[in-house]
Structure 1
Amino acid sequence: MSLSSSSPSTLPHQQDSNEAQVLKYHNQTKHSFTNYARGPRGLDWANQPKPFRRFDSAPLVPLLHPPPPNQTPPPYSSVFLNLPPPKPISKSTISQLFFDSLAISAWKTTGFSTWSLRVNPSSGNLHPTESYIIAPAIESVSDSAFVAHYAPKEHSLEVRAEISSGFLPKFFPKGSFLIGFSSIFWREAWKYGERAFRYCNHDVGHAIAAVSMAAAELGWDVKVLDGLGYEDLKKLMGLEIFPEFEIPARPVKGKFPVIEFDHPDCVLVVFPNGVGEFNVNYRELSMAISRFSELKWKGKPNVLSREHICWDIIYRTAEAVKKPLMIEHKFSIDPFHSSRLFNESSYKNLTVSEVVRKRRSAVDMDGVHVMQRDTFYQILLHCLPSGSQNGGKQGRQLGLPFRVLSWDSEVHAVLFVHKVAGLPSGLYFLVRNEDHFDDLKKVTRSNFKWAKPEGCPDDLPLYELTRGDFQELAKRISCHQDIAGDGCFSLGMVAHFEGTLQNKSAWMYPRLFWETGVLGQVLYLEAHAVGISATGIGCYFDDAVHELLGLRGSSFQSLYHFTVGGPVLDKRIMSLPAYPGPAVDS
């Protein structure tokens, strides 16, 4: 979708203008102790967007609900060590992939309210992320290669177009297919206003990691096709169906159904583990995708709300971060790097499917649960991008699920340790790209210790900064939310920011949030796998975090917060099975 506007992205020196727009958005949407980012003053429940995109009149093909396995699947922790032999593409395996990554996981009900939960988490449970599959012919799904939209409420595929049987084999190994993601900004902006663009991209990262983990269970590897441009993605997923619109000069309330469009984010190639290195010719791939505009696309997108608020800065920023086709981009498949199993007894012997489908976002933490130090270290080892490096530095993304990303890690974590037995309470730092270590020491407070804590594995780049009780401070800087101080630990994800935008381009801005979402998904799964819970926190006071660390300027910026601990269960809320769900659309 190409938006018509007078935004800086259409002016000369486009790259500088795009970066300026990104910095303007980022700074304008910061929360502070004295001022929150602009958003609706109250929730317009009559216009809450429908949570499910449907393409009316497109053929709907039900997927299978996986039966109990004939043999015991390997435990969750084992997929971080190596991937199992790949399974063939079939209706059964495609069904399992979606079931364990993007499907409904449960329904909740209390009083007159009923709502769904999904395997992939979302800010405010609003789910702006839509998913598409581009696949070869699959028996009992489609007699020809096809493009389909995944409908999670029905656990079905809406077949939108048939494509040439030679398209996928020309560019990818046998047994490969594509998964595409898009965002409907309005779904998130309805509640969160201008900050919604951040949250949408968190959710893209969660979805990327969710697919990567579900694919790993099937013996499939996953990689972002990051050489493709915005226009390629739009054609590939059939999103040219959405009309263009002119961005208003300020936030405007009214009927704007055009802002319900799907903004194409990325596409992943899913391929059998063990096929080895293969090249992707992005020039020829883009030319082949250009012919998708001529396909007979089926289905009309449903309307999500009667009225809207168009937060103009979201759409100007979406324009500025559009990635061009990069034919010189090198597609590479690095060997799988395992992530060390430091303390296997931490885990509850659950399978991947059990962990991902039972994951929940905690609403409150009990303030009581104490985590063992070795469990804490084990969780952080699975948060490292490079896996087990045999003495090498962390930085390249080689371990599961970070290997899906095509850039070296740009995201670190400052940790508020509250209740970890054998570890002093205080402020710690996990360095996820050790090439940044010297810069981090220079730009943070001079009195920080940067000392390895007791019992810390040699290959875990975790450092104690200072000791003390940070529970109240963790709550205050996370918008006064008790949940940030009542867990075992909480954290802020600190990204190498302005230098990344300058060295690459404005299109890295959403990708930084994707990386935080992938890391967040690992924290969610690790927490559940050890028997507790976690929650992503999108509301925090940005510059208060930077002040705490002594950061000046925009060299490093906090992009996402998280908390991990013992959850408080609300017994007033009843859980219902995911399928068949109730006959409601919320």
Structure 2
Amino acid sequence: MAPWRPFAVLCTRLLVAAPHVSQEAIRKLVGDLSPNLSAELQDRVEAVLSYHFRSKHFLDVQASLPGDLDWSSQPSPWRSYHGAPRVQLPHSLALLEAASSPVPLSLASLGAFLRLGAGISAWKSYDGLHMWALRVMPSSGNLQTTEFHVMLPPLDGLAAVPAVYHFQPEMHALEFRLPAPNEFVTTADGSAGFLVALTSLCIREAWKYGERALRSCHLNLGHAVGALDAACNVFGWSLQEGPPALHADSILRTVLGLGAGSDEEPGEHPELALFVRTSARASDVGVWPAYLTAETIGKLYREAHVEAQGVPGPLRPQRPAAAPSWPAMDAAQEGAVMALAEAGHQEEPTTSGLERSALKRLLGQRLLDAILNRRSVLRMSDEQPPLPEADFLRILRVACTAVPEPRAGRLAAGTGSAVNVLLMLHKVESFLQGLYVLTRQRGSEEELFAFVKAMPERVHRSESGSPLDLPEGCALWALARPVDVRHAAQISACGQEVAGAGSFAAAFFGAFTGWRHPRRYLELLWHAGALGHVFYLAAEAAGFGATGMGCFMDDMGLGLLRDPWSMEAKGDSSSQSFSAEESQHQVLYYVTVGKASSDPRLLSFDPYQHLQEGFSYEALQGGMGRIFQTT
């Protein structure tokens, strides 16, 4: 690559509020990228794309930030519904040692599943007293914007009727919200499985990251989907799309008993419903009745005199006197809302036959340890060994075949290809340094060749002569090699050293063409987050580590893909292009993989020590806590 000036020098330019975005240019771009949209959908896609371009980072301009952090108003990563009946869940994983596959659904297996799919992985501390919790899925700033709700059949230890619960991970408990009509359970005994609904509280991210928070909020949700899928792999269960009716925001909000919230206390935003299939019997295919619409659900609840129990606890100890607002972010979120007519609510099966997932097949017995030990790398080891060839190829295979890609309705699913990966290889055994692209879906190559300026060369074998043996439809392409891209990776990742000091860095990019609905933007972020999650798990299984990076110079990363030798010129906001030719792909996420350096000052504690007999737990502001031994 071209010689680089020190990043600190490049960043001494004055940073202003946000990149300038011309609405006229955005309107033309939407018409070029996604023609034939209705006037309403055109306006909503414009709001989404305007947000995406406005929230880009450049060397001279960055997305709007809140300024100095007001620690007195830091949101809590834990949500509780005060007054809701609470059921403590078991958290032991001992049942996995002797259980058959698939593991039968019970209170014990549900508790273990939620531990692996949404729970705490460790408590960390610098002084042994003030602690913070890590979760099984990463989150920008550990702010945890995703909430988990479950709709369960009657189980021993829970309500005697089908019911909706909120999962409270801090105390590893279910909070009873409201009973559900019998029609919500797929079979009489509930043996087919249960529903998991994910909601977002993006205000947690906005407190620290400002306008760019919507991106990281939905990347977090993708990680949550990846974590649930990984847990399903361990239990012999499968994660599948939820009922079509629940794609509509209004129906999902009604089913979960969510309030609209207010400026003082924002409410949860319903995002996605998934079906966890726990039975392998072909007869246990669930069907969501077509008549269950928002209106009929509301009528069922009114006739049964059903009211949601519990009041959502405040996220912030106090509201800041002058809380910043993010209208572009709010407009994008509202623009991506899925209405009932758009989601469709006809009767159709929600599940398919249970199959052994590729994630368990590729990672084997190392999967469980990878889930429990996954951490975000804060610093790469100074003595960075090469990532073994076999482990690198396993990461690629996992990325090709083991990534859940949730879709919120058929209209939201665009015709564009899946999220693909720009690889910046630094130190990988049997591979030259340089830029590569992993295409994850047949047909992606044509779009790639049309976008990049140099013709990529397909890589069939490593430098050792071993065939790559990638799954069908998946291919690795060389853009520039041999070339040292460590500085390029670091600079394009906002100067973060971990991007250039490990084995490789990856930029995930998605197609912004052929959208049929603005929800496609959220889907692409979900897919990128889920893809990042399997990178984490596969790296951990190899004895390495990974970290996701939500801060990156969007167009510099895109420049590495399109024309690597002109990347530095893409650092200025004045270079931002709104042409369809240069905008058909956009960078969504950065992930880096390498051998982590441990911090000897950092203490680690058992994830559920605070719930054990003989210990006392005191919750502190901002998700911190103290754990005392009482006996």
Q: Name the TM tier (shorter chain).
A: 0.7 to 0.9
Match of 1:264 among 234, 247, 270: 270
SS at match of 1:231: helix
Separation in 1, partners of 2:418, 2:534: 16
SS at match of 2:154: coil
1:516 is matched with which residue?
A: 528
Change (3 A) 1:298 1:36: same
1:579 is matched with which residue?
A: 608
Match of 2:478 among 464, 483, 493: 464
SS at match of 2:43: helix
Separation in 2, partners of 1:105, 1:401: 22
SS at match of 1:434: coil
Check whether the contact 2:145–2:200 (CA below 8 A) recurs between aligned residues.
yes
Separation in 2, partners of 1:568, 1:289: 53
SS at match of 1:101: helix
Offset, 1:236: 1.4
2:510 is matched with which residue?
A: 495
The reply to whether residue 435 of structure 1 matches residue 443 of structure 2 is: yes
SS at match of 1:498: coil
Offset, 1:170: 6.4
Match of 1:143 among 160, 164, 169: 160
Separation in 2, partners of 1:192, 1:211: 26
Separation in 2, partners of 1:44, 1:321: 30
Offset, 1:280: 3.9
The reply to whether residue 300 of structure 1 matches residue 311 of structure 2 is: yes
2:63 is matched with which residue?
A: 37
1:209 is matched with which residue?
A: 226
**Matched residue pairs, number?**
533
Offset, 1:154: 0.3
Greater Cα offset, 413-422 or 140-149: 140-149
How is 1:432-581 mapped onto 2 (pairs within 5 angstroms)?
A: 432-454=440-462, 455=466, 456-459=468-471, 460-467=474-481, 468-499=483-514, 501=515, 504-550=516-562, 552-581=581-610
Check whether the contact 2:427–2:502 (CA below 8 A) recurs between aligned residues.
yes
1:365 is matched with which residue?
A: 380
SS at match of 1:495: strand
Check whether the contact 2:421–2:439 (CA below 8 A) recurs between aligned residues.
yes
How is 1:35-114 mapped onto 2 (pairs within 5 angstroms)?
A: 35-69=61-95, 71=97, 85-111=101-127, 113-114=130-131
Offset, 1:216: 2.3
Offset, 1:484: 0.3
Offset, 1:310: 2.5
Offset, 1:186: 0.7
Offset, 1:165: 3.3
Check whether the contact 2:181–2:300 (CA below 8 A) recurs between aligned residues.
no
Structure 2, unpaired ranges of 5+: 1-26, 28-37, 564-580, 611-616, 624-631
Separation in 2, partners of 1:516, 1:185: 17
1:284 is matched with which residue?
A: 291
Deviations 1:405-458 (A, max 9, x none): 986862000000100111100111100112121121111122543443423225
Separation in 2, partners of 1:316, 1:403: 23
SS at match of 1:169: coil
Greater Cα offset, 434-443 or 483-492: 434-443
Instruction: Give the TM-score, by structure 2 length.
Output: 0.79
Check whether the contact 1:205–1:514 (CA below 8 A) recurs between aligned residues.
yes
Check whether the contact 1:88–1:175 (CA below 8 A) recurs between aligned residues.
no
Q: Which amino acid aligns with 1:379?
A: I
Deviations 1:229-262 (A, max 9, x none): 01011111111x234x5xxxxxxxxxx324x210
Change (3 A) 1:458 1:210: closer
Separation in 2, partners of 1:316, 1:70: 45
Offset, 1:109: 0.9
SS at match of 1:31: coil
Larger radius of gyration: 2
Change (3 A) 1:169 1:546: closer
Offset, 1:181: 0.6
Separation in 2, partners of 1:172, 1:70: 23
Check whether the contact 2:406–2:526 (CA below 8 A) recurs between aligned residues.
no
Offset, 1:341: 9.6
Q: Which amino acid aligns with 1:572?
A: R
Name the % identity.
29
The reply to whether residue 197 of structure 1 matches residue 210 of structure 2 is: no
Instruction: Give the TM-score, by structure 1 length.
Output: 0.85
Separation in 1, partners of 2:44, 2:452: 28
RMSD: 2.7
Check whether the contact 2:195–2:274 (CA below 8 A) recurs between aligned residues.
yes
Check whether the contact 2:425–2:434 (CA below 8 A) recurs between aligned residues.
yes
Check whether the contact 1:235–1:292 (CA below 8 A) recurs between aligned residues.
no
Q: Which amino acid aligns with 1:272?
A: T
Change (3 A) 1:160 1:338: closer
Q: Which amino acid aligns with 2:44?
A: N
Deviations 1:102-135 (A, max 9, x none): 1111111114742111112111100011010101
Check whether the contact 2:398–2:534 (CA below 8 A) recurs between aligned residues.
yes
Separation in 1, partners of 2:275, 2:449: 38
Match of 2:395 among 379, 384, 391: 379
Offset, 1:85: 3.1
Change (3 A) 1:296 1:98: same
Structure 1, unpaired ranges of 5+: 1-7, 74-83, 246-255, 388-398
1:253 is matched with which residue?
A: none
The reply to whether residue 414 of structure 1 matches residue 422 of structure 2 is: yes
1:4 is matched with which residue?
A: none
Check whether the contact 1:131–1:150 (CA below 8 A) recurs between aligned residues.
yes
Check whether the contact 1:171–1:281 (CA below 8 A) recurs between aligned residues.
no
